[in-house]
């Protein structure tokens, strides 16, 4: 089983590395993948030799993981280069660091592409920038990019829209217009070739059918794998499976509360992203579930956004819609599941997520919900033997918290990026990773989570208009999402525990 898990983890890690940084560095993808896999390979080998009961200390695992993280960063930076392939939509959303670092000379580099516009078209481009809106001072040409520097003379939002309309009037859909700030907070414009300009032909019917069949197939496979896990959670002996169809259906039925609860939470989360993207006419796929025959029965679900974000408001709305929708779906399922769970005595030592004797004080929000459900029956000496649906609800809280972590390309990373800008979001993400790492020394169950976040890139892709700020309502909603994250992750303080008669 350990080797099967290692194989699956290795495959998923390789795919993530290939699609996230494969074109951003000359370092071979297999080498970056190998560095990321070293901790898992060491743990698997250790378990094989010494057994699962003699695992290395958490300090040893942390030291190895930090060393691999540093090595990964060094190898990535060593091979970093400017993207040359404009056919990849993800590379059209340039950030400032890419633009600045891509200009270094390298005698061994491949010949650079011709600049996107010729000298005759430069006057047309200058005419797109009215002096009363954005006084253009300098035009700099990069491979597959035209950078326009100047002074902004009006509000960022109207300026971007006016210049975007002017460029579309002169050049049609040849370019995507990106609006960002440099290190001195001075806004500048970037024109990059539009990868969708040559792909305006309608999709054939078979392609549209495949976009529906694959998500549905993965959904049914995930329903099956989570049902099998739900059967085990319900305490049913799988040996009772036999040729009796009626008996087998009864066994499968006992796994459905967990399976349907978890799939509902994950599905509503992704549908929150999907429907919000459709509202803003952003191209997105239906949710893809990831079925696995062990662990939780699934590694979650995701959608693919196929269009660039037009501005930070749209980035914020699409990013926050998923966690909030998933949380709203989690609450009633968790409450119902807790009400059908049982109160048991806490053992002398129990884990953070022990479903047979869960200590709700590991989470402020969970403790409050459990107290509302059970009242005075829940004391400092009692825990909860969770109903399968309550386990699904607990996992829903964990999924919400994980996605709200303000790091890189997680939903929380997009949220703080939209609220504070990309540079501030990078700082917040680094602080969040360090704080979770420190918290893992108090609650060791967070250690794996903290290690995973160390490998998540801090920089996410910018919006086309990455300068215009959010309104007050969205800022308040963003702060509420951060507060929700803290309520889920932080343990119940002793003072509050005494107030709730759980101390």
- Dump pLDDT digits (tens) for 219-254: 999 999 999 888 888 877 666 665 555 566 777 788
**What's the mean pLDDT in 108-126?**
67
Q: How confident is the model at residue 19 (pLDDT cuts 50, 70, 90)?
A: low
For residues 383 and 195, the model is more confident at 383
Segment holding 235, helix H or strand E: none
User: Could you give phi then psi for residue 460, rounded to 5 degrees?
Assistant: -105, 175
Predicted pLDDT at 90:
38
3-state helix, strand, coil in the chain (%, to 5): 60, 10, 30
Using a pLDDT cut of 70, give the percent of the chain over it.
80
- In this model, does residue 197 exceed pLDDT 70? no
Token pair in block for residue 308: 């660039």
Residue 342 to residue 176: CA distance in whole angstroms? 57
Longest dimension (CA), the chain: 81
Token pair in block for residue 160: 């971007």
Q: Where are the alpha helices (DSSP H) in 172-311?
A: 205-233, 245-279
Residue 466 to residue 93: CA distance in whole angstroms? 10
Q: Where are the alpha helices (DSSP H) in 183-204?
A: none
**What's the mean pLDDT in 98-103?**
38
DSSP 374-411: HGGG--TTEEEE--HHHHHHHHHHHHHHHHHS-STTSH
Q: Which of 97-101, 364-368, 432-436 has the highest mean pLDDT?
A: 364-368
Predicted pLDDT at 328:
96
For residues 348 and 153, the model is more confident at 153
For residues 193 and 144, the model is more confident at 193
Q: What is the pLDDT of residues 435-458, one digit of tens each?
A: 887 777 777 777 777 777 877 777
Q: Where are the alpha helices (DSSP H) in 51-105?
A: 58-78, 96-101
Q: What is the pLDDT of residues 248-289, one digit of tens each?
A: 677 778 889 999 999 999 999 999 999 999 999 999 999 999
Predicted pLDDT at 368:
92
- In this model, does residue 58 exceed pLDDT 80? no
Residue 167 to residue 151: CA distance in whole angstroms? 18
The 10 Å CB-count burial string (b at 16+, else e) for 280-302 is bebebbbbbbbbbeeebbbebbb
- In this model, does residue 474 exceed pLDDT 60? yes
Cα torsion 451, 456, 457, 458 to 10°: value is: -80
Sign of CA dihedral 473, 476, 480, 485: positive
Residue 374 to residue 430: CA distance in whole angstroms? 39
**Stated pTM of the model:** 0.74
Q: How confident is the model at residue 81 (pLDDT cuts 50, 70, 90)?
A: very low
Segment holding 301, helix H or strand E: strand 298-302
Residue 310 to residue 86: CA distance in whole angstroms? 18
Q: What is the pLDDT of residues 394-440, one digit of tens each?
A: 999 999 999 999 988 899 999 999 999 888 888 898 888 888 877 77
Predicted pLDDT at 267:
95
- In this model, does residue 378 exceed pLDDT 50? yes
**What's the mean pLDDT in 4-19?**
68
Q: What is the pLDDT of residues 180-194, one digit of tens each?
A: 988 778 899 999 888
Predicted pLDDT at 261:
94
Q: How confident is the model at residue 334 (pLDDT cuts 50, 70, 90)?
A: very high
Predicted pLDDT at 159:
92
- In this model, does residue 151 exceed pLDDT 50? yes
Q: How confident is the model at residue 4 (pLDDT cuts 50, 70, 90)?
A: low
**What's the mean pLDDT in 155-177?**
91
Token pair in block for residue 149: 């520097």
Q: How confident is the model at residue 92 (pLDDT cuts 50, 70, 90)?
A: very low
Q: How confident is the model at residue 365 (pLDDT cuts 50, 70, 90)?
A: very high
- Mean pLDDT, the chain, rounded, equals 81
Residue 65 to residue 35: CA distance in whole angstroms? 10
Identify the weakest region by mean pLDDT among 23-27, 196-200, 288-292.
196-200
Parse the chain into domains and list their residue ranges: 2-78, 89-193, 208-499
Predicted pLDDT at 238:
62
Residue 468 and residue 156 in contact, taking contact as beta carbons nearer than 8 Å: yes
- Which residues share a beta bridge with 8? none
For residues 153 and 54, the model is more confident at 153
Q: What is the pLDDT of residues 342-354, one digit of tens each?
A: 988 887 766 656 7
Nearest CA among 257, 315, 295, 283 for reference residue 460: 315
**Helices and strands per DSSP (H, E), number in the chain:** 16, 8
Q: How confident is the model at residue 312 (pLDDT cuts 50, 70, 90)?
A: very high
Predicted pLDDT at 104:
38
Cα torsion 194, 200, 205, 208 to 10°: value is: 30
């Amino acid at each position: 089983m350990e080797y099967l898990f290692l194989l699956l983890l290795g495959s998923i890690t390789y795919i993530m590395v290939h699609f996230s940084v494969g074109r951003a560095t000359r370092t071979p993808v297999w080498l970056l993948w190998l560095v990321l896999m070293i901790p898992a390979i060491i743990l698997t080998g250790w378990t094989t030799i010494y057994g699962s009961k003699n695992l290395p200390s958490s300090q040893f695992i942390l030291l190895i993981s930090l060393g691999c993280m540093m090595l990964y960063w060094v190898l990535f930076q060593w091979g970093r280069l400017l993207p040359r392939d404009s056919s990849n939509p993800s590379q059209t959303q340039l950030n400032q660091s890419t633009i600045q670092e891509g200009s270094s000379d390298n005698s061994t580099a491949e010949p650079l592409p011709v600049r996107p516009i010729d000298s005759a078209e430069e006057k047309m481009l200058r005419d797109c920038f009215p002096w009363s809106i954005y006084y253009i001072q300098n035009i700099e040409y990069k491979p597959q990019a035209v950078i326009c520097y100047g002074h902004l003379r009006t509000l960022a939002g109207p300026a971007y829209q006016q210049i975007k309309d002017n460029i579309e009037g002169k050049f049609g859909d040849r370019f995507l217009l990106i609006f960002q700030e440099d290190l001195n907070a001075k806004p500048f414009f970037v024109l990059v070739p539009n990868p969708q300009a040559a792909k305006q032909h309608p999709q054939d019917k078979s392609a549209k059918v495949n976009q529906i069949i694959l998500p549905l197939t993965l959904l049914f496979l995930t329903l099956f794998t989570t049902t099998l896990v739900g059967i085990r959670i319900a305490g049913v002996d799988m040996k009772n499976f036999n040729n009796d169809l009626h008996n087998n259906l009864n066994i499968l039925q006992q796994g459905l509360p967990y399976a349907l609860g978890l799939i509902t939470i994950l599905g509503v989360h992704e549908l929150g992203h999907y429907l919000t993207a459709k509202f803003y006419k952003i191209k997105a796929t239906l949710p893809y579930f990831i079925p696995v025959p062990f662990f939780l029965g699934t590694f979650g679900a995701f959608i693919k956004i196929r269009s660039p974000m037009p501005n930070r408001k749209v980035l914020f709305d699409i990013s926050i819609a998923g966690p909030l929708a998933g949380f709203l779906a989690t609450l009633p399922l968790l409450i119902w599941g807790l009400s059908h769970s049982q109160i048991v005595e806490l053992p002398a030592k129990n884990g953070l997520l022990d479903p047979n004797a869960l200590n709700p004080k590991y989470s402020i929000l969970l403790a409050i919900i459990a107290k509302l459900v059970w009242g005075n029956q829940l004391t400092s000496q009692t825990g909860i033997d969770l109903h399968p649906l309550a386990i699904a609800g607990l996992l829903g809280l964990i999924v919400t918290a994980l996605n709200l972590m303000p790091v890189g390309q997680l939903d929380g990373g997009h949220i703080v990026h939209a609220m504070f800008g990309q540079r501030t979001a990078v700082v917040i993400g680094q602080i969040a990773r360090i704080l979770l790492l420190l918290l893992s020394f108090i609650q060791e169950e967070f250690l794996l989570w903290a290690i995973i976040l160390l490998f998540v890139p801090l920089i996410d892709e910018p919006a086309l208009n990455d300068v215009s700020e959010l309104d007050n309502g969205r800022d308040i909603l963003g702060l509420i999402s951060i507060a929700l994250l803290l309520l889920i992750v932080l343990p119940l303080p002793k003072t509050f525990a005494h107030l709730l008669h759980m101390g």
